[in-house]
Amino acid sequence: MKKQKIITEFEVYEELSDLPEYVQHLMLQAKEAREKAYAPYSNFLVGAAILLANDEVVTGSNQENSSYPSGLCAERTAIYAAGANYPNIAIKTVVITAGPRNSINTIPVPPCGACRQAMAEYEQKQSEPIEVYFMAQEGKICKVNSLLELLPLAFDKDFLK
């Protein structure tokens, strides 16, 4: 038997003004996108803004459904829109903000497992890392430099061979 260890790394920023300017701008766009969430069942609103290599920004928000599993997270709404509209343009940065409708949260909200899997697919496809920033509505901001940090030991297309 052999034990193996995976170490993941992320950065923590105290406030928005500590982030590079383009990320501050993306966070504003993610916050605007969050306002457009359709989340009547959970009342938990999530917004995502994605910067592409051609400087276009694609945004998304969570979209729920009375048939609960038919809904989709903000991150996948946004990344699938990017993939659908800009199939050959690399994804540089994903910025996420999330929190309940009627109260302010401050603990950074990381993307769910399914969204990590979806984002990892695009990172592998483009062979270039995607940086991901995530926060609550207020408070600290976390950043990973690659999906490999968020989703170690990932399943990917190479296993299908």
Q: Which residues are catalytic?
A: 75
Show contacts with ligand THU in window 40-79 (CB under 6 A): 42, 44, 46, 62, 64, 71, 73-75
Contact set for ligand THU, span 99-118 (CB under 6 A): 111-112, 115
Nearest Cα residue to 76 out of 48, 39, 108, 45 = 48
Q: Give CA–CA dist 95/22, Å, rounded.
A: 11
Closest CA to 78 of 90, 66, 65, 96: 96
Window of 24-32, 37-45, 79-87, 119-127 that interacts with ligand THU by CB under 6 A: 37-45
Q: Which is nearer to ligand THU, 19 or 62 (CB)?
A: 62
Q: How far is the CB of 17 from ligand THU (least distance, A)?
A: 25
Q: Given the complex with ligand THU, which of 49 and 74 has the nearer CB atom?
A: 74
Place of tokens 């193996």: 4
Task: Determine if 39 is a binding residue for ligand THU (CB under 6 A).
Answer: yes
The token duo for 105 is 């949260």
User: Does 151 interact with ligand THU (rule: CB under 6 A)?
Assistant: no
Nearer to ligand THU, 108 or 111 (CB): 111
Residues 6+ positions from 131 with CB-CB distance below 8 Å = 92, 93, 94, 143, 144, 145, 146
